[in-house]
Amino acid sequence: MTEFTSEEISSLEKRYKANLINSVTGYKSANLIGSISENSISNLAVFNSILHIGSSPALIGFVLRPLTVERHTYANIKSSQFYTVNQIHSGIIEQAHQTSARYATEVSEFGKTGLNEEYVKHISAPFVKESKVQIACKYVNEYEIKENGCLLMIGQIEMLRVQEKLIQADGWVDHMAANTASILGLDGYAEGKLINRFAYARPDEPIKVL
Amino acid sequence: MTEFTSEEISSLEKRYKANLINSVTGYKSANLIGSISENSISNLAVFNSILHIGSSPALIGFVLRPLTVERHTYANIKSSQFYTVNQIHSGIIEQAHQTSARYATEVSEFGKTGLNEEYVKHISAPFVKESKVQIACKYVNEYEIKENGCLLMIGQIEMLRVQEKLIQADGWVDHMAANTASILGLDGYAEGKLINRFAYARPDEPIKVL
């Protein structure tokens, strides 16, 4: 094993450290957050920190980097209260990654990447038409992580839109059939292959495959 | 597309809803958190919410469900200040899932699953010897998510232990070579296959493959 102490980590070259620390935790979710400004300029940004918070009520979270520079996604969520979380699949990973470029406020990443906006009733934020799993959220709260100024944003799921064939009989979404991507570190995009689903685990009973 | 409004989600059958809401966000990280009690009883629990928080300082987070029942991981972290985050790979997914069974406080999931404890100097919590990527964390802070009582736990990386061959020249950890698993929903375990790594994105420049 190669070992790094906290002192050794601190003194690593900046880019090496960012790659190492961003990749050690394993596979991360790959989603595009869609939002719209008060001036009706749409915005799209790749996020790898979408997090399940709870099912009843249905809440999800994501981590926003510190507000030391202009964060369009944050400003749009605060002004409109709505945002969408759109699945990245293997067919759109280049467009998804391109949304991380620093475009000016008045530029829409939809237009620049060729991904298409889709609007539905009662949800002001744009969905990504190409995504096979789409979530609309309403802003609920934010928590500042004081240790580094990041924000944990909490949203309630207002609407779910999932390709019909992807939903299995027990509600589980088949991300293999959707070619859903995951993110590794800052810049890697992967596809997945299911090994197994397991039944609810109980003490001293052997694991059962579903 | 199959659409669910927030009202429709609320009224879904409980298990269907849990599967749906836990799986919509895509692939999740798959890790085992190791800890030890004041009475020297080790504990191991599967988590799919490990989250990158920052690289300088190196911080990671995870979500703990509400403290309405006894949470051994939480109690151990609060008493000892240390915990480990250990990569789940395809060879140990059954053992990893089995740690989610409700064992009594005095029972160690290490003993019950056959996974091995490994201790190193200055870190009181046990690592999982079988894991190829191991992180030791020191408790830093916790944030209560008031909307449902979950806790976001923040830890500073005190030590990283990674199989030497997995670390690429730029610091990126090769999780394909490690057979790292990811988690889908509550009970699915998947393997990944890298599609591409992309260079830093810039406005109006074509995406480059690394």
pLDDT per residue over B127-138, tens digit each?
999 999 999 999
Q: Is A177 on the interface with B (CB under 8 A)?
A: no
**pLDDT on residue A20:** 98
Whether residue B7 has pLDDT greater than 90? yes
Q: Do A201 and B170 touch (CB under 8 A)?
A: no
Residue A53 scores a pLDDT above 90: yes
Tell if the pTM clears 0.95, that is, is over it: yes
A172 → closest Cβ in B23, B148, B197: B23
**Residue B7 domain-assigned?**
no
How much is the CA Rg of chain A, to the nearest whole Å? 19
Q: Which residues is B2 bridged to in the sheet?
A: A162
Beta-carbon contacts below 8 Å between A and B: 376
Q: Provide the residue type at A134 as one letter.
A: Q
How many Cα atoms occupy the beta-carbon half-sphere of A68 within 13 Å? 5
Residue A3 domain flag: no
* Contact: A53, B30; criterion CB under 8 Å: no
CA distances from residue B204 to A104, B30, B162, B198 in whole angstroms, order as listed: 12, 36, 37, 15
Cα A194 to chain center, whole Å?
Answer: 20
Q: Identify the pLDDT of residue B70.
A: 85
pLDDT digits (tens, 9 = 90+) for A84-140: 999 999 999 999 999 999 999 999 999 999 999 999 999 999 999 999 999 999 999
- Determine the Cα–Cα distance for residues A55 and B147; give it in Å rounded to an integer: 12
Does A1 fall in a domain?
Answer: no
At B49-63, the pLDDT tens digits run 999 999 999 999 999
pLDDT of B181 above 90? yes
Q: Which of A68-72, B78-82, B104-108, B194-198 has the lowest mean pLDDT?
A: A68-72
Assign 3-state DSSP to chain B and report helix, strand, coil percentages, each to 5.
20, 45, 35
Out of A2, A27, A167, closest to residue B182 by CB: A27
Inter-residue contact A208 to A118 (CB < 8 Å)? no
pLDDT band for position A141 (cuts 50, 70, 90): very high
Is the distance from CB of A52 to CB of A60 less than 8 angstroms?
A: yes
Q: What is the pLDDT of residue A112?
A: 96
Question: For the CA atoms of chain B, what is the radius of gyration?
Answer: 19
pLDDT of residue B99: 97
Residue of chain A with shortest Cα separation from B21: A55
- In Å, what is the CA distance from B206 to each residue of A99, A106, A184? 12, 20, 21
- Whether residue A193 contacts residue A104, with contact meaning beta carbons closer than 8 Å, is answered with no
* Domain membership flag for residue B78: yes
ipTM, interface predicted TM-score of the complex: 0.97
The residue among A170, A133, A139 whose CA lies nearest residue A157 is: A139
Q: How many separate domains does chain A show?
A: 1
User: Per-residue confidence at B22, pLDDT binned at 50, 70, 90?
Assistant: very high
- Average pLDDT score over residue span A184-209: 97
A171 DSSP 8-state letter:
S
Answer yes or no: is pLDDT of B11 > 90. Answer: yes
pLDDT over 90 at B69, yes or no: no
Q: For residue B31, is pLDDT > 90?
A: yes
Give chain A positions within 8 Å (CB) of B103: 203
Domain containing residue B76: CATH number: 2.30.110.10
Residue B175 has pLDDT above 90, yes or no: yes
**Nearest C-alpha in B relative to A173:** B23
In-domain check, residue A30: yes
Give the C-alpha separation, A125 to A36, whole Å. Answer: 6
Question: Taking Cα atoms as reference points, which of B47, B76, B46, B50 lies closest to residue B62?
Answer: B50
Q: In the prediction, which pLDDT does B203 show?
A: 96
Partners of residue B109 in chain A, C-beta under 8 Å:
none
In this predicted structure, the answer to whether residue A32 has a pLDDT above a threshold of 90 is yes
Find residue B4's DSSP bridge partners: A160
The pLDDT of residue B120 = 97
User: Does any domain span residue B11?
Assistant: no
Name the band, by pLDDT with cuts 50, 70 and 90, for residue A68.
Answer: confident
Band the pLDDT of B10: cuts 50, 70, 90: very high
A59 touches chain B (CB under 8 A): yes
Whether residue B209 is contained in a domain is answered as: no
Q: Report pLDDT digits (tens) over B149-163.
A: 999 999 999 999 999
For B170, nearest residue in chain A (alpha carbons)? A16
**Considering only CA atoms, which of B103, B101, B157, B93 is closest in space to residue B131?**
B93
Q: Letter for the amino acid at B47?
A: F
Spatial CA neighbour of A136 closest among A80, A75, A95, A183 = A80
Rounded (5°) CA angle B88-B91-B96 = 45
For residue B176, the enclosing domain spans 16-191
| B1, part of any domain | no
DSSP string, B119-185: EETTEEEEEETT-SEEEEEEEEEEEEETTTTEEEEEEEEEEEEE-GGGB-TTS-B-TTTTTBEEEET
Q: By the 8 A CB rule, do A157 and A104 touch?
A: no
Three-state DSSP class for residue A112: helix
Instruction: Calculate how close chain B gets to A126, using CA atoms only, in Å.
Output: 16
